[in-house]
């Protein structure tokens, strides 16, 4: 009489020559495998970082960003954030101080070419700050709704159009309009940078990044003094503004194409609810 191996027996261990300790264990193993094949992952199950990133990418309406990268914590994650997030926003703030300080150098040339009085020249300079300050309240609402990348890129596009109008303007009204558009366009550079730091950097680095942003703005103001005066000896003021326009469009392209979109949970709300 041939002896059968326990794996050939009934899972319940009913045959007499089966090991009573082995048959129930084998049945349990087969049951566990069958159950595991039919169920999905439960909360608390260990999930690999790569699998988690793939799951994030498969979610509906998920926008690609650096979240899977940050989950896996590669060695170069901080370097990527510096190149793709920090530097583009700092470039925008640097540009905003170029625009802010450039009239101090170009003022006498503008007054001579357009026969401006001191009051007209003062208003031409101050309209930048009027538009800048007036847009701060709607700016906060837009940043909360759409995020720093979209808002800053869109506003800097407005600034580029204003600078182009200023560079080609043939009347005082065109200069004022262009200067106002510049002020409106750069009004989000600082606040958008602050929001980007909060979204992408750990809390302990926010203060350092804020200081770097202010230092970058100061460098922008310095570059609009002696370096720009030296350049003015070679080029006209309109050519200098066209150079600023080119730099402006480059910053817009960086923000739109390089900075990743941070996925956020957004809720539709009215302006009154945002201000409440």
Distance CA 162, CA 97 (A): 15
* pLDDT recorded at residue 179: 94
What percent of the chain shows pLDDT beyond 90?
41
In a domain, 46, yes or no: no
CATH of residue 119: 1.20.1250.20
Over residues 81-116, the pLDDT tens digits come to 777 788 999 999 999 999 998 888 888 899 888 988
In a domain, 239, yes or no: yes
In a domain, 105, yes or no: yes
Could you tell me which residues come within 8 angstroms of residue 134 by beta carbon, excluding any fewer than 6 positions away? 184
In a domain, 211, yes or no: yes
- State the Cα torsion 253-259-261-262 to the nearest 10°: -150
* pLDDT recorded at residue 209: 92
In a domain, 14, yes or no: no
In a domain, 210, yes or no: yes
Distance CA 152, CA 17 (A): 78
* pLDDT recorded at residue 267: 53
In a domain, 23, yes or no: no
Q: Comparing 60 with 54, which gets the higher pLDDT?
A: 54
268 has a pLDDT exceeding 90: no
Rounded to an integer, the average pLDDT of 236-248 is 92
Grade residue 233 by pLDDT with cuts at 50, 70 and 90. confident
CA distances from 81 to 24, 73, 248, 260, 269 (A): 55, 12, 21, 9, 31
* pLDDT recorded at residue 189: 94
Distance CA 120, CA 176 (A): 10
What percent of the chain shows pLDDT beyond 70?
66
Domain that holds residue 152: 77-261
Quote the mean pLDDT of the chain: 77
Distance CA 200, CA 55 (A): 21
Tokens of 218: 């100061």
- Give the total number of structural domains in the chain: 1
* pLDDT recorded at residue 188: 92
Q: What is the chain's alpha carbon radius of gyration, rounded to the nearest angstrom? A: 31
Contact 196, 73 (CB under 8 A): no
What is the residue-wise DSSP string for 173-200? Answer: HHHHHHHHHHHHHTTTHHHHHHHHHHHH
* pLDDT recorded at residue 216: 93
Contact 124, 116 (CB under 8 A): yes
3 has a pLDDT exceeding 60: no
Over residues 172-226, the pLDDT tens digits come to 999 999 999 999 999 999 999 999 999 888 888 899 999 999 999 999 999 888 8
Over residues 5-40, the pLDDT tens digits come to 444 544 444 444 444 444 444 444 455 454 444 454
Over residues 121-170, the pLDDT tens digits come to 999 989 999 999 999 989 999 998 999 999 999 999 999 999 999 999 89
In a domain, 21, yes or no: no
């Amino acid at each position: 009489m041939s002896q059968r191996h326990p794996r050939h027996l009934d899972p319940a261990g009913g045959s007499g020559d089966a090991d009573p300790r082995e048959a129930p264990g084998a049945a349990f193993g087969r049951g566990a495998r069958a159950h595991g094949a039919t169920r999905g992952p439960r909360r608390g199950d260990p999930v690999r970082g790569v699998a988690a990133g793939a799951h994030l990418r498969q979610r509906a309406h998920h926008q690609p960003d650096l979240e899977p990268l940050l989950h896996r914590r590669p060695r170069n994650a901080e370097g990527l954030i510096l190149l793709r997030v920090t530097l583009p926003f700092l470039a925008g703030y640097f540009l905003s101080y170029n625009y802010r300080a450039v009239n101090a150098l170009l003022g006498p040339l503008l007054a001579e070419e357009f026969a401006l009085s001191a009051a007209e020249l003062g208003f031409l300079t101050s309209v930048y700050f009027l538009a800048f300050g007036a847009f701060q309240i709607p700016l906060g609402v837009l940043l909360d709704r759409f995020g720093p990348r979209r808002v800053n890129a869109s506003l800097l596009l407005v600034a580029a159009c204003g600078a182009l109008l200023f560079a080609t303007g043939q009347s005082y009204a065109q200069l004022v309009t262009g200067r106002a558009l510049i002020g409106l366009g750069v009004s989000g550079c600082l606040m958008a940078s602050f929001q980007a730091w909060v979204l992408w950097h750990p809390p302990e680095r926010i203060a350092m990044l804020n200081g770097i942003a202010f230092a970058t703005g100061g460098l922008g103001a310095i570059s609009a003094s002696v370096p720009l005066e030296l350049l003015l000896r070679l080029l006209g003021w309109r050519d200098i503004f066209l150079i600023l326009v080119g730099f402006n469009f480059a910053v817009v392209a960086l923000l739109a194409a390089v900075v990743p979109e941070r996925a956020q949970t957004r809720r539709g709300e009215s302006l009154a609810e945002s201000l409440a």
